[in-house]
Chain A
């Protein structure tokens, strides 16, 4: 048991913190208000190696571990939750499955430029009528000769409007009465039949664009198939085990931003003749926030170290994600409360943190899905 960061881990945390404070945080309010996609920040993250932290340097990545990834995600998300999730999707939902399931040729083509930040990836699992129950998807992949024919649509695709390639999941074998089989594909944006809607309008993470994407008679060769035929569900679930660590980090970063500002404010703002912090009502909120933030971070680090060791971490990722995301909602709620009326005003960042935190309980597996995973594991005995 040793919870000290290694030198490399400290280094990337400091680099990420420095970049986040100097280049990301000053833009966060504007990105939220205008909903502008932060092209320049995405580019800078690529230069810093943040778009493929846990990808080998031979494939364009930073060649670091998942604790490094977690540390950088926390810092970026603390500055701007939108920028955080753009980074998370490229790292966890795109690079990770290509790294794990791709052939050497696929990695050269679909991993290297994405891990280096030259290109951007996204992940297509959810559909208009298929969210938590991913088995019920309608997008199909039909084998026609030596080609696959893809038809269907995917929605809430984060990075979708700007991505160069999507990791797509489709039904490749429909078994009426039984479980259908799915297969994963890599689909480039310029493929005929691929199109996308305008970005979704959302409660928060305004600068992280998502959209619905359509596949109309999209023709793919087997070169585009990621993993074995029928292995799609396995690819998706294994990817989400990692993705949940990323979203937990995003939640942690948002919570920390709100917490740190609430601490500062409670020391400056006076009521009844003393700083807010002198009232136990406020001090105890701060104590609860601090404790839960630390607990979330430990749960995240545990899951990340397990992923690095290559051991099964579905349960630990689910626990980290459930705890961190619900923690972020509680913490941003309390922080907004400490700011009072100012917390509700768009002149201050509290309402943004509160709106941004809310998504973390929903995407990459709702809190309800996490509880199903955790209970199933616990009840297995």
Chain B
């Protein structure tokens, strides 16, 4: 048993930290305020290998493993949560294509996701009427000669307007989860209609759109009617990414509130002297340490190719719920200033709030965990 990071993991962490602090953090407030999609920063991440951290090197990835990916995500999220989620989804799409794609599909798309030729990748599973219950999706794919044509609507698609390639799920068989397949759809495919950009509470620099498919051409990824398994496996990994994002955001909020508590004086002394403040800091520190360990445990299990669904769900439910509490306490420590846009505390709280919702709500994670416990 060893909790220490390997040299590779430390190197990836340091690389991500340096870039995040130097090139991302100074832009974060503007990205949020202007709803600016961070094209240049994403290219910078790609140049450092951070858009395909766990993708094999023969496909252009960094092949640095899942723990390294998680650590890099934490660092990027600490600087800018919008950039981090874009990075997370791109990494996830690269992994899915590398794992389930044919040699041809993988060697076409993975290097482009990795090197930034594609601004991002996108993952299209949710629909207006199918969120936690993807088995109820209505988008269909029908065979037309040797081609598949997709019809239907997807919703909440991160990077949907900018993705060079997206993985899309559609019904090819009967009802429920057994009749779903996975497809690759390229940017600009005829019949792919990009819908309106969602006006969100947080992650305002990330692109979130609905997509309409009208006889849009897609390429089957993996087995026919084997799509649900791909989605679930991708989401197991995705949950590590979102856990890492939540931990990164909350770490920023905690560190900033600690610094503020040391400087801010009330009743003739730094507010850090008051136990009321110390208790919030101690609870946040403790809960975040637990989150980090749950997250890195799931990451190291995925890295060793052992089943990790239960652990990924535990990581996500704890990390995201704790992160919301931590960011909320940080606003409280900042008082009125925490509610203003002058400080990042309010942005952290807005950004972190979605982490208990997307890539499997807290409630879905609890279903997964309870099922494992009751087996």
A residues whose Cβ falls under 8 Å from a Cβ of B: 1-6, 9, 67, 263, 266-267, 277, 280, 283-284, 286-292, 294-296, 298-299, 301-302, 305-306, 316, 319, 322-323, 370-372, 374-379, 381
A-B residue pairs, 7 tightest by C-beta? A375-B278, A287-B366, A283-B370, A298-B293, A371-B282, A287-B369, A374-B282
Chain A hits for B314, CB < 8 A: 290-291, 294-295
The answer on a CB contact under 8 Å between B300 and A291 is no
The answer on a CB contact under 8 Å between A6 and B289 is no
Query: Can you pick out 17 interface pairs between chain A and chain B where the beta carbons lie within 8 Å of each other?
Result: A1-B6, A6-B1, A263-B374, A277-B374, A286-B373, A287-B365, A287-B373, A291-B294, A294-B311, A295-B314, A298-B290, A302-B293, A322-B282, A323-B286, A374-B285, A379-B258, A381-B259
Type the 1/0 row for B357-375, where 1 means its CB is closer than 8 Å to any CB of A.
Answer: 0000001011101111110
By beta carbon, the residue of chain B nearest A376 is: B278
The answer on a CB contact under 8 Å between A2 and B294 is no
By beta carbon, the residue of chain B nearest A309 is: B4
Chain A hits for B317, CB < 8 A: 287, 291
The answer on a CB contact under 8 Å between A283 and B2 is no
Overall SS of chain A's interface: helix
Chain A hits for B259, CB < 8 A: 381
Please tell me if B9 contacts chain A, counting CB pairs below 8 Å: yes
Known: A266-B374, A287-B366, A374-B286. A3 touches B1 (CB 8 A): yes
A3 CA to B302 CA in the complex, in Å? 12
- Closest chain A CB from B69 CB (angstroms): 12
By beta carbon, the residue of chain A nearest B304 is: A4
Most B-side CB within 10 Å, residue of A287, A295, A322, A375: A287
Chain A hits for B300, CB < 8 A: 1-3
The answer on a CB contact under 8 Å between B297 and A3 is yes
The answer on a CB contact under 8 Å between B1 and A319 is no
Please tell me if B296 contacts chain A, counting CB pairs below 8 Å: yes
A2 CA to B65 CA in the complex, in Å? 13
Chain B hits for A286, CB < 8 A: 369-370, 373-374
- Closest chain B CB from A281 CB (angstroms): 11
- Closest chain A CB from B200 CB (angstroms): 27
Q: Which bracket fits the contact residues of B?
A: 35 or more
Chain A hits for B261, CB < 8 A: 379
Please tell me if B67 contacts chain A, counting CB pairs below 8 Å: yes
Chain B hits for A1, CB < 8 A: 2-6, 9, 67, 296, 299-300
A73 CA to B72 CA in the complex, in Å? 36
Most A-side CB within 10 Å, residue of B282, B296, B318, B363: B282
Chain B hits for A283, CB < 8 A: 366-367, 370-371, 374
The answer on a CB contact under 8 Å between B279 and A375 is yes
By beta carbon, the residue of chain B nearest A266 is: B374
Chain A hits for B5, CB < 8 A: 1
By beta carbon, the residue of chain A nearest B299 is: A1
A298 CA to B295 CA in the complex, in Å? 11
Chain B hits for A292, CB < 8 A: 318
The answer on a CB contact under 8 Å between B282 and A295 is no
By beta carbon, the residue of chain B nearest A322 is: B286
The answer on a CB contact under 8 Å between B281 and A375 is yes
- Closest chain A CB from B246 CB (angstroms): 14
By beta carbon, the residue of chain B nearest A375 is: B278
Chain B hits for A323, CB < 8 A: 286-287, 290
Chain B hits for A288, CB < 8 A: 366
Contact of A4 among B1, B9, B369, B374 (CB under 8 A): B1
Chain A hits for B323, CB < 8 A: none
- Closest chain A CB from B269 CB (angstroms): 13
The answer on a CB contact under 8 Å between B1 and A67 is yes
Most B-side CB within 10 Å, residue of A6, A67, A316, A375: A375
**Could you tell me which residues of chain B, from 252 to 297, have a CB within 8 Å of some CB in chain A?**
254, 258-259, 261-262, 272, 275, 278-279, 281-283, 285-287, 289-291, 293-294, 296-297
